[in-house]
Structure 1
Amino acid sequence: MTETLDGATSSPAGPTPTRAAVLAWSLWDWGSAAFNAVVTTFVFAVYLTGSSFGDKDVIAAQLGWALAIAGFLIAVLAPVTGARSDSSGRRKYWLGVNTFIVVALTAAMFFVQASPEFLLLGLVLLAAGNVFFELAGVSYNAMLAQVSTPRTIGKVSGFGWGMGYIGGIVLLLIVYFGFINPEVGLFGVTSENGLAVRVTMLIAAAWFGLFALPLLLRVPEYQAPDAERRAKVGFLQSYVELGHDVARLWRTSRQTVYFLVASAVFRDGLAGVFTFGGVLAASAFGFSPGEVIIFAIAANVVAGIATISVGVLDDRLGAKPVIITALVGLIVSGSLVFLLHDGGQIVFWTAGLALCLFVGPAQSASRTFLARIIPAGREGEVFGLYATTGRAASFLAPTAFALMVTLFGETYWGILGIMLVLLVGLLLLLPVRAKPSRMA
C-alpha cells in the first residue's frame, strides 16, 4: 500500500503510466472543447437563441427547459452507468460509444437551419448531446487513476483540464476567423441561413472525433481487480445496488459525502462564471459579439496556463488548499467586477481574466480530491455520483443570477448571485477533512 499526498492509501494499479498514455488521455479533453466551448457556450447555443428562431425570451426559456430535462436524465443515469462500466470492465468501450454519439449529434446540428421550424430539432440535439457528453465524462474522469500515480495525479488532472482550455482556444480561433467573422469565410461559406454556424458544427464534430482517437487507441481498457469484481445484475437492479452503495458510503466515508455536497455547490458556481460571463460582457460592459469571442479566447489562455501550472501544487500541498485558494480568489475577483462595473470594459478585461486564473484549478483539484480516495474498481460509480450531485445543484447559479437581476434591475447585480453560490460552496468545504481516509 502507498500513501497519497492527501493522506489516502492506494493500492498499486499496475505499471507506471507512460507519458504517451497521459498525452493520449488529455487529448480527449482537448477535443471535448468542441462541445464545451463551441456547441454549448459560444456558438450553437447563441445561434439557437437568436432572432431567426423566434422571440428570444421564449426561446431562452425553452432552452432552459431542454437543458433541465437533460440534467435530470444525467442525474438519474450517471452513477448507474458508471458503476456498470466498472463491473463490466468496459470503461473505455463506453467512453468511446458515448463520445461518438456526441460526435454524431454535433454533426447533425448542421441540419438546423435558421428558421423557427428547426428550433425543436436544435433543442433536442443540444439536450441529447449534453446527456451523452456527461456520461462520457464519467468514464473519462474514472480513467484518471489509470494514467496517473498517487504522486502525479494532481499534475495529470491539471494537464487534462489545461489541454481542454487550450483546445478551446485553437478551435475558437479557427471557426471565428475562418467562418463566423468574415462576410465570406473559407470555401465561400456565408452566414446566409445560418450556414457559417452549421458548417462550424461539422468542424466541431470532426475535431472531437479525431482527438478522442488517441485515448481509445493508446490507453488500455480498464481491468477490474478480482477483489472488486461484482456479479452482473440487470439495469433496474443496478439502482438497488446503488442505494446500498450510497448507504455504505454514508456509514464508512462520510467525509466523501460531505465533499460531494460541497463540490456540487461550488462547481455550479464555477459553471456560472463561464455560463454568464458572455452575457455580462455583452449586457453590462458593452462587448460586441466578436469582442465576446475574443475575450473567451483570452480567458481560455489564462485558465489553461493556470490549471496546468497549479496541478504541481495540487500534488505537493493537496487538493483542498488549492480549492480553497481558488474559491477565495474567485470571490475577490468577482466582487471587484461588481464594485468597479462603472469602469467599463477595462474592468471586465482585468478582473474578469483574474477570475479565469482560478476557475480551472478549482475544477481540476476537485476531481483529484475525489480520485485520491476512491478504491480501485469503483471510480466509475463514484464519479457517476460526482456528476449526479453536480446536476442536482445545477439550478443554484442560474437562480441566484436571475434573482439578483430581477430584484435590482441591472445585469451586473447577477455577479453577486454567482459569488454567493461560490461562498456557500467554500463554507461547506471548510469543515471537510483535508486528509480523508480511503473509502471502504
Structure 2
Amino acid sequence: MRSSLTTGVTRREIWAWAMFDFANSGYTTVIITAVFNAYFVAVVAEGKPWGTLAWTSTLAVSYALVILTAPLIGAHADATASKKRLLLFSTLGCVIFTAALALAGPGSLALAVLFVVLSNFCFGTGENLIAAFLPELARDDAMGRVSGWGWGLGYIGGLVSLGACLAYVSWAQGQGQTAAQFVPVCVVITALLFALASTPTFLFLKERSKPQPAAAGGAWQRFRQTLREAGRYRDLLRFLACTVCYQAGISAVISLAAIYAAQVMGFTTQDTLLLIFVVNITASIGAVLFGWLQDRIGHRATLALTLMGWLAMVALMWFASGPELFWVAANIAGLCMGASQSAGRAIVGLLAPPTRLAEFFGLWGQAVKLSAILGPMTYGLASWLSGGDHRLAMLITGSYFVAGLLLLASVRLERGRRTALAG
C-alpha cells in the first residue's frame, strides 16, 4: 500500500479518508436507493400516479443547488485551505436533515421534500470535498487503486446501514408494523451510523493544502478566472460532458432501483432490501477490482469497459420477466457501479491542477449533479408519459451510456494531465 501513497501519507490516514465513503454510502443506499424512495412514492405521496415524478423532481432541486454552489464552495476551500472544515459542516447538515426525515409520514409531502432537498444538498457538497483530498493522498499512477479502496469500503458501509435496516424491518414486520412505522426508524439508524462512521475522517485526515492569500475572499473571482481559462482544459471539459451522460444513466438506476423492483418485479420491501444488500457486495468487489485494473490497462479503457457493462445491464432489464434475470442484471449494475464511479473520480484527480483541487472537483460535482437531474427526470417523465411503462423508461435511460462512450473516445488523459500540471 505505501508505494501507492504520496510522501508523508500514512495507512491510517488513507483508512480515515476511505471511512467517509463508508459513512456516507449508508445515506445513498437507504435514502436514495433502497428504502426511503419507495416509501416516498407509496406512503408519503400515498401511491398517487405522480409520485415517481415528485420524487425525481425533489432530487432534481437538491442537485440544482449543488450545481449552483459547488465550484464556489470549492474555490473558497482552495483559497482558505478549508476543505476539512467545510466537510464537517456538510456532514453535520446531512446527518441532522436525514434524521429529520423520520418526521415524514403519510401525506406529509412538503416536509419530506424539504428534508430530502436539504440532506441531499449537504451530501453532494461533502461528496465533492472528500474527493478533492484524493490527489493529495495518492500518487498519479495509483489514483485508481486508492479511489477504488474508498469506493470498495463505501459499499461495505452501505451494507452495514442496509443490513441494520433489514434486520429491523424483518423484526418490525414480524410484529405487524407497517412501512409508516418502521421506515422512520430506518432513517434514524442511517443518520446515526453516518455520524459514527465519519468520525475517524475528522480525527485523522489532514488538511495538506495551504491558504492562498491572493485568492482569499475571492471565490467568485477565482471561479470566473476558471471559466475564462476553460478552453485550456479541453480534455477535462470533454470528460465532464462524458460524466454528465454516463452518470445520468447511473443516477436513474440508483434513484429508481427500488421503485422498478416494486412496480415491475413485484418485490416487497424485504425483497428489495435483500437485493440491494447483495448488489452492494458486488459493487464493493467491482470498485476494488476495477480500481486495480485501471492502473494496469488505463483509466479510459477501464471506464469504457464498464459503460459497455451498463448497456448489457439495460438490455437484461428490458428482457427480464422474472426475478432470476433481474437479479443477474442488478449484480452487473453493481459491478459496473463501483468501477465507473471509482474511475471517474481518479480521472478528475489526474486532470485537475494541484493547487485548485477542490474547485475542479466542484466542477466534477456540478457534472455529476446535473446528470442526477437528467437521468432520473428522463426516467420519471418517460414513465409518466408512457402511462407507467417502467421498461420503456429504463430503455430510454440506457441511451445515456451510449452517449458517454462516444464522448469518452475524444478524451486524451496524457495531454490533459500535462495541461493540469502546467496550470
Tell me the distance in 2 between the aligned counterparts of 1:55 and 1:427: 39
Change (3 A) 1:223 1:354: closer
Please state whether the residue corresponding to 1:139 is helix, strand or coil. helix
Tell me the distance in 1 between the aligned counterparts of 2:81 and 2:176: 47
Counterpart in 1 of 2:283? 303
Alignment map for 1:124-139 (pairs within 5 Å)? 124-139=114-129
- 1:66 alignment partner AA: T
Tell me the distance in 2 between the aligned counterparts of 1:49 and 1:409: 13
Change (3 A) 1:261 1:328: same
Q: 1:414 aligns with which of 367, 385, 393?
A: 393
- 2:251 alignment partner AA: A
Please state whether the residue corresponding to 1:56 is helix, strand or coil. coil
Counterpart in 2 of 1:246? 227
Give a deviation string over 1:24-73, Cα, whole Å, max 9, x none. 11111111122111122222232222235535334444333332222221
Tell me the distance in 2 between the aligned counterparts of 1:218 and 1:275: 32
- 1:287 alignment partner AA: F
Counterpart in 2 of 1:159? 149
Tell me the distance in 1 between the aligned counterparts of 2:387 and 2:89: 46
- Report whether the alignment pairs 1:21 with 2:13: yes
Deviation at 1:190, TM superposition (A): 6.9
- Report whether the alignment pairs 1:197 with 2:199: no
Give a deviation string over 1:82-120, Cα, whole Å, max 9, x none. 1101110111111011101111111222333x242x332
Counterpart in 2 of 1:320? 300
Tell me the distance in 1 between the aligned counterparts of 2:184 and 2:263: 26
Q: Is the 8 A contact 2:244 2:367 kept in 1?
A: yes
**Matched length:** 415
- Report whether the alignment pairs 1:75 with 2:67: yes
Tell me the distance in 2 between the aligned counterparts of 1:59 and 1:334: 23
Q: Is the 8 A contact 1:25 1:147 kept in 2?
A: no
Tell me the distance in 2 between the aligned counterparts of 1:428 and 1:323: 12
Tell me the distance in 1 between the aligned counterparts of 2:102 and 2:265: 32
**4+ aligned runs moved over 6 Å, structure 1:** none
Deviation at 1:194, TM superposition (A): 2.8
Alignment map for 1:245-394 (pairs within 5 Å)? 245-250=226-231, 252-338=232-318, 340-342=319-321, 344-394=322-372
Tell me the distance in 2 between the aligned counterparts of 1:101 and 1:402: 28
Q: 2:137 aligns with which of 139, 147, 151?
A: 147
Change (3 A) 1:260 1:35: same
Change (3 A) 1:408 1:133: closer
Alignment map for 1:2-151 (pairs within 5 Å)? 15-51=7-43, 53-112=45-104, 114-116=105-107, 118-151=108-141
Tell me the distance in 2 between the aligned counterparts of 1:402 and 1:58: 9
Change (3 A) 1:385 1:130: same
Give a deviation string over 1:373-412, Cα, whole Å, max 9, x none. 2222211100111111222333432344346544596322
In the superposition, the TM-score normalised over structure 2's length comes to 0.91
Q: Is the 8 A contact 2:38 2:259 kept in 1?
A: no
Deviation at 1:130, TM superposition (A): 0.8
User: Which 5+ residue runs of structure 1 have no aligned equivalent?
Assistant: 6-12
Tell me the distance in 1 between the aligned counterparts of 2:263 and 2:294: 36
Change (3 A) 1:299 1:184: closer
Counterpart in 2 of 1:233? 217
Q: Is the 8 A contact 1:303 1:358 kept in 2?
A: yes
Percent of pairs with identical residues: 26
Please state whether the residue corresponding to 1:221 is helix, strand or coil. coil
- Report whether the alignment pairs 1:216 with 2:189: no
Change (3 A) 1:110 1:393: closer
Change (3 A) 1:410 1:201: closer
Deviation at 1:372, TM superposition (A): 1.3
Give a deviation string over 1:156-184, Cα, whole Å, max 9, x none. 1011111111111122111111x222236
**Root mean square deviation, CA, Å:** 2.3
In the superposition, the TM-score normalised over structure 1's length comes to 0.88
Q: Is the 8 A contact 1:87 1:377 kept in 2?
A: no
- 2:197 alignment partner AA: F
Change (3 A) 1:194 1:224: same
Tell me the distance in 1 between the aligned counterparts of 2:115 and 2:386: 34
Change (3 A) 1:217 1:415: same
